[in-house]
C-alpha cells in the first residue's frame, strides 16, 4: 500500500521555483510513496465563517478538504513573501482547520519545505507555516526541513528535479513524511 502525500504550493505562478520543487517531489518520490500536486489553491475564496456552513461551503474549499482527507500526509512548499508565508497558504490552512478541532488537517502529519531567493531559503515563511499548521491541529513534523537559498540563481537554468543535491534532500524529506504517515496509520 502506497503512502499518499498531498503537496500544496504557496506560489500561484506557473514557473515558480517552489512549484518546480513540488514537481521534483512528484517525479522523484521513493517507491511506496505517491505525491499528488494539488491544483486550485488560487480558486479558494478567503476564509469566511459565514460561508463555512453545511450546504454553502464553496466548492473549491470543499475540494481542498476532500483531497486532504484522502491524503495520508501533507507537504507544504512555501516561498517567502515579505518575510512570511504567502496568503494563499494561510488561506488554505484556515479552510483546513475548520471545524475547530476536527478539520481536515487535524492530527495529519504535515511538513514544510521550500526555496526562496534570500540567503536563508525562506526559513521565516516555513517557520510561520509550521506554526499556523500546528495551531490548526496538524501533526507538524518539526524536524523535517529543507530550505534552499538563492533560488533565482540556483534554478535559473536547472530545474530542481535535475539538481542531484536537491533530489537527494527532497527524497529524504519524502521518506521522513511517509514514515510519519505510516506511524500515524498504525
Predicted structure pTM score: 0.96
pLDDT tens over the chain, length 186 residues? 799 999 999 999 989 999 999 999 999 999 999 999 999 999 999 999 999 999 999 999 999 999 999 999 999 999 999 999 999 999 999 999 999 889 999 999 999 999 999 999 999 999 999 999 999 999 999 999 999 999 999 999 999 999 999 999 999 999 999 999 987 765
Alpha carbon 46 to its chain centroid, in Å, reads: 18
Domains of the chain and any CATH numbers? 3-185 (3.40.50.360)
In tens, the pLDDT along 105-144 reads 999 999 999 999 999 999 999 999 999 999 999 999 999 9
Mean pLDDT, the chain, integer: 96
* The predicted structure's pLDDT at residue 101: 84
* The predicted structure's pLDDT at residue 183: 79
* The predicted structure's pLDDT at residue 186: 59
Amino acid at each position: 500500500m502506497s503512502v499518499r502525500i498531498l503537496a500544496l504550493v504557496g506560489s500561484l505562478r506557473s514557473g515558480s521555483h517552489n512549484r518546480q520543487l513540488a514537481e521534483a517531489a512528484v517525479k522523484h518520490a521513493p517507491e511506496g510513496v505517491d505525491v499528488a500536486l494539488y491544483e486550485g489553491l488560487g480558486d479558494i475564496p478567503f476564509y469566511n465563517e459565514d460561508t463555512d456552513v453545511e450546504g454553502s461551503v464553496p466548492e473549491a474549499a470543499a475540494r481542498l478538504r476532500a483531497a486532504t482527507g484522502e491524503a495520508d500526509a501533507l507537504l507544504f512548499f512555501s516561498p517567502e513573501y515579505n518575510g512570511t508565508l504567502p496568503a494563499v497558504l494561510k488561506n488554505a490552512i484556515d479552510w483546513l482547520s475548520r471545524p475547530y478541532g476536527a478539520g481536515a488537517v487535524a492530527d495529519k502529519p504535515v511538513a514544510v519545505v521550500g526555496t526562496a531567493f534570500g540567503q536563508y531559503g525562506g526559513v521565516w515563511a516555513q517557520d510561520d507555516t509550521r506554526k499556523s499548521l500546528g495551531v490548526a491541529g496538524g501533526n507538524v513534523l518539526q524536524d523535517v526541513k529543507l530550505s534552499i537559498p538563492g533560488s533565482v540563481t540556483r534554478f535559473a537554468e536547472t530545474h530542481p528535479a535535475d539538481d542531484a543535491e536537491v533530489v537527494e534532500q527532497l527524497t529524504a524529506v519524502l521518506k521522513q513524511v511517509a514514515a510519519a504517515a505510516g506511524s500515524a496509520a498504525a
